[in-house]
């Protein structure tokens, strides 16, 4: 079996695209592919009948052309061919080892793979997808079949190495905060699914079954990762003890560390000191109020008594004095025969039964070998395969040369195609792409993994002669830690975003050498169904039919909140900057400002006056103040009370959480204002997490300059993209945070009522005569 180093697809900082792997290198687009899912690591078998029923012509192609791919690599096959030579028919089958999804691909979430706290557990799901195909090559990965039985030439070995890995995943930790408990979009130290939090003075015990130890074998190896989940004044200190063979605890490790570090403990233990049935490891938290455990493993020498098992994973070291390791296994439940699968070297090895025991010879090679002893009747059958895209052919995305990308999910596909058609009519080279195609091609088949989108966009930038400019995500996203263990939310995560907190900007940032700036002007329609996509598309059509300047298009509304006089004064000054910019530049706006003047949590304003102005037509509404997910601290009225069909403003909310379109159960304020038919707004730009006034002001002040003058006449998405490029920071985490978490809920290609020429219009109401009556008697 060919071994390759883990592929790091996209580091989350700037990088060069030259020679960059994207995840689809294993695909030959001239071939057909049929896939199946596995959620357990095991030996699997697919019968000739199942392959034929799926549409694979196994009866007419030489089976040497068959290939199996998983995790981006070709997987060795064992071919059972008892019928017609060189083809699969009758009782023939293919056999192989397939792994469930773990954290191997998640390493790409972290800026450094060494920061990944738990490589054994995926942030996304535990389901892996494997692909059966066939090509012209007959030189494909195969398992060699070994039948050696000359046992008298070898001395039996008394042990193999058994490894038990435990992941502790009942609590999600957001990692080290950057300020006021807001966390970074990027995955950081101490972020992931770990054990419940352990406070100072607490104790927890982890138990490992250690029956059938071989005491005379090599030392056992215990490993664990302990994580700090707070930055206390006192350092974290923990101690690990293990219960020895006499039943008493003895100290194994004691260590201090600071903050959000993760500590790898790697200890050697005499095998004779392990308990004969179950060995306990006790963790004691001596200081530090938030400590946790990511995972632990124990590898120890196990004797050849298998206690009735029918499947056993084992590590087999190279024999020091023999060319093969000889085992005589007792207590193995395999009434119909057994084989050892040497996964390191790609071998299937016959085990011989004698007097109830099984004997096998495993050749040296490859150092310690990962092997599985399997009873023949315990192999898992795959009974169903599906053709990629229904036809078996991957959609080849290597030469689309589209400037406007739409990424959506299957339930929304028909409406997304309607959106694609509309954008093409408007002159864009628009392409709708099913996110499931991206999972298969750019994430090794890991569904809901946002790296599929990031890798695809990087691929497009590297491969296409014409680079894409816009990215519209059509579909609701749900932050990964809220849907990982909830099947309803997982299904509702139609088009995933990146990180926790989630950022659509981060899906494409860094790809073309930037820091936080997205490579494409990016927006999302957080639709849950076809109707919501269509109602928003209708609003876009109405908005873009306003192709002549009107007086109402100059109207801008500002709303200022705040909890006290100082904060209200600061916000008033911020809004004053925007006021001056939007009135004095090309936009030539007419601003009306409403300010909160009380310390009450919410101040009711002149709702009727605001409603009348909105109904009469407004281009921009900007709020600055406090909010939750469902409203502002100065009342701007509810969108359902508006009557502004065809006159939809952009709403910029400088506040907390109102832009969290990635929440799972309730609608955000952003969704309420955008996903409402014939009223509300055309776009909602707001932070999906906590907001910090100076950074919000930096962002909005620059955005106003771009909308009003520097980028006047360009699309909203391009102005946002330009704004982030101008203020992005590698050294200021608060600025980084606002760049990544200001979420555009809407189409990035819309233009906010900007016209290339002086927008003067004379209406009937503007014409008058002095004097009021003109006659022929006047000279």
pLDDT, block means (10 residues), the chain with 779 residues: 38 44 96 99 98 97 98 98 95 98 95 83 98 98 98 97 98 88 88 96 97 97 97 88 93 95 97 95 95 98 98 97 98 98 98 96 96 98 98 96 98 99 98 99 98 98 96 98 95 97 96 92 98 99 95 96 90 97 93 83 69 96 78 81 97 92 90 98 93 94 97 97 95 93 98 76 55 52
Distances (CA, A) of 228 to 149, 401, 425, 749: 53, 47, 55, 44
For helices 693-705 and 716-727, what crossing angle results, to 10°? 130
**Neighbouring C-beta atoms of residue 625, cutoff 10 Å:** 26
Return the half-sphere exposure (C-beta side, CA atoms, 13 A cut-off) of residue 648: 29
Cα distance between residue 661 and residue 678, in whole Å:
20
Cα distance between residue 185 and residue 31, in whole Å:
38
Furthest-apart CA atoms within the chain: distance in Å: 134
Exposure letters 459-482 (e unless 16+ CB within 10 A, then b): bbbbebeebbbbbbbbbbbbbbbb
Q: Is domain 33-142 given the CATH code 2.60.120 in the classification?
A: no
670: Cα separation from own chain's centroid = 22
Of 184, 230, 186, 6, nearest to 105 (Cα)?
6
Return the half-sphere exposure (C-beta side, CA atoms, 13 A cut-off) of residue 113: 13
Cα distance between residue 700 and residue 159, in whole Å:
67
Contact between 629 and 622 (Cβ < 8 Å): no
Cα distance between residue 441 and residue 438, in whole Å:
5
Of 520, 438, 471, nearest to 24 (Cα)?
438
For helices 530-544 and 413-425, what crossing angle results, to 10°? 10
pLDDT score at 5: 36
Contact between 242 and 281 (Cβ < 8 Å): yes
Class for the domain spanning 151-158+304-381: mainly beta
Cα distance between residue 41 and residue 101, in whole Å:
8
Cis before 501 (ω within 30): yes
Which residue reads 């694979």 in tokens? 56
Class for the domain spanning 160-302: mainly beta
Two tokens at 237? 């200190």
Cα distance between residue 268 and residue 305, in whole Å:
24
Which residue reads 């004064």 in tokens? 569
| β-pair partners for 627 | 632
pLDDT score at 111: 81
Could you tell me how many helices (H) and strands (E) the chain has, helices first? 13, 40
771: Cα separation from own chain's centroid = 71
pLDDT score at 601: 52
pLDDT score at 597: 77
Segments making up each domain of the chain, as ranges: 33-142, 151-158+304-381, 160-302, 548-745
pTM of the model: 0.93
| β-pair partners for 623 | 559, 653
pLDDT score at 501: 93
Q: How far apart, in Å, do the first and last CA atoms of the chain sit?
A: 104
The answer to whether 33-142 and 160-302 have equal CATH topology is: no
Q: Please provide the CATH number assigned to the domain covering 548-745.
A: 3.40.50.1460
pLDDT score at 9: 38
């Amino acid at each position: 079996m060919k071994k390759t180093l883990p592929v790091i697809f996209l580091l989350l900082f700037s990088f060069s695209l030259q020679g960059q792997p994207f995840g689809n290198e294993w695909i030959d687009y001239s071939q057909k592919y049929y896939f199946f899912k596995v959620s357990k690591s095991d030996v699997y078998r697919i019968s000739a009948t199942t392959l034929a029923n799926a549409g694979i012509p196994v009866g007419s192609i030489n089976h040497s052309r068959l290939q199996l791919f998983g995790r981006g690599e070709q997987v060795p096959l064992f071919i059972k061919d008892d019928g017609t030579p060189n083809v699969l028919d009758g009782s023939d089958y293919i056999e192989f080892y397939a792994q469930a999804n773990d954290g191997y691909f998640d390493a790409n979430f972290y800026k450094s793979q060494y920061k990944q706290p738990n490589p054994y557990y995926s942030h996304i799901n535990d389901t892996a997808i494997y692909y059966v195909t066939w090509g012209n090559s007959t030189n494909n990965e195969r398992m060699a079949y070994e039948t050696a039985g000359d046992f008298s030439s070898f001395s039996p070995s008394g042990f193999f190495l058994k490894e038990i890995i435990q992941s502790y995943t009942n609590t999600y930790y957001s990692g080290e905060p950057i300020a006021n408990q807001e966390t970074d979009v990027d995955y950081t130290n101490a972020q992931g699914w770990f054990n419940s939090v352990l406070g100072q003075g607490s104790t927890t015990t982890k138990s490992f079954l250690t029956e059938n130890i071989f005491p005379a074998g090599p030392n056992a190896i215990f490993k664990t990762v302990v994580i700090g989940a707070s930055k206390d004044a006192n350092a974290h200190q923990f101690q690990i003890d293990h219960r020895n063979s006499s039943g008493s605890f003895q100290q194994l490790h004691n260590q201090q560390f600071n903050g959000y570090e993760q500590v790898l403990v790697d200890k050697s233990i005499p095998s004779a000191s392990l308990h004969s049935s179950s060995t306990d490891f006790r963790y004691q938290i001596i200081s530090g109020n938030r400590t946790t455990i990511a995972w632990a493993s124990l590898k120890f020498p196990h004797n050849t008594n298998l206690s009735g098992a029918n499947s056993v994973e084992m590590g087999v070291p190279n024999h020091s004095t023999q060319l093969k390791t000889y085992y005589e296994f007792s207590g193995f439940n395999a009434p119909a025969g057994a084989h050892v699968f040497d996964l390191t070297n790609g071998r299937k090895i016959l085990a011989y039964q004698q007097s109830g025991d099984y004997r096998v010879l495993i050749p040296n090679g490859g150092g310690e070998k990962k092997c599985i002893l399997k009873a023949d009747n315990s192999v898992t059958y795959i009974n169903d395969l599906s053709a990629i895209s229904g036809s078996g052919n991957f959609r080849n995305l290597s030469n689309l040369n589209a400037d406007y990308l739409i990424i959506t999910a299957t339930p929304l596909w028909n409406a997304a195609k309607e959106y694609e058609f509309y954008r093409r009519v408007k002159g864009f080279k628009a392409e709708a792409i099913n996110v499931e195609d991206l999972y298969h091609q750019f994430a090794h088949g890991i569904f809901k993994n946002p790296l599929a989108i990031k890798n695809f966009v990087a691929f497009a930038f590297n491969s296409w002669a014409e680079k894409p400019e816009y990215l519209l995500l059509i579909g609701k996203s749900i932050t990964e830690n809220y849907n990982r263990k909830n099947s309803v939310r997982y299904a509702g995560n139609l088009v995933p975003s990146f990180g926790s907190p989630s950022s659509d900007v981060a899906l494409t940032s860094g790809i073309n050498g930037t820091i936080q700036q997205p490579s494409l002007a990016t927006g999302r329609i957080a639709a849950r169904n076809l109707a919501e996509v269509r109602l928003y598309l209708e609003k876009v059509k109405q908005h873009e039919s306003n192709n002549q300047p009107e007086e109402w298009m100059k109207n801008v509304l500002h709303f200022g909140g705040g909890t006290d006089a100082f904060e209200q004064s600061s916000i008033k000054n911020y809004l004053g900057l925007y006021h001056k910019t939007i009135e004095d530049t090309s936009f030539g706006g007419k601003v009306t400002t409403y300010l909160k003047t009380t310390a009450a949590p919410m101040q009711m304003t002149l709702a009727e006056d605001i409603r009348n102005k909105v109904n009469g037509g407004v281009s921009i509404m900007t709020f600055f103040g406090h909010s939750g997910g469902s409203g502002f601290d100065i009342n701007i009225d509810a969108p359902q009370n508006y009557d502004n069909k065809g006159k939809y403003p952009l709403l910029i909310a400088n506040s907390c959480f109102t832009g969290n379109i990635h929440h799972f159960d309730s609608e955000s304020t952003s969704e309420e204002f955008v996903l409402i038919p014939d009223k509300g707004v055309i776009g909602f730009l707001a932070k999906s997490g906590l907001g910090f006034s100076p950074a919000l002001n930096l962002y909005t002040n620059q955005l106003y300059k771009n909308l009003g003058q520097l980028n006047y006449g360009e699309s909203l998405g391009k102005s946002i993209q330009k704004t982030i490029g101008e203020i992005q920071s590698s050294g200021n985490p608060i600025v980084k945070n606002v760049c990544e978490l200001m979420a555009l809920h809407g189409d990035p290609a819309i233009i906010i009522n900007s016209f290339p020429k002086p927008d003067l219009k004379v209406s009937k109401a503007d014409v008058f005569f002095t004097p009021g009556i003109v006659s022929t008697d006047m000279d």
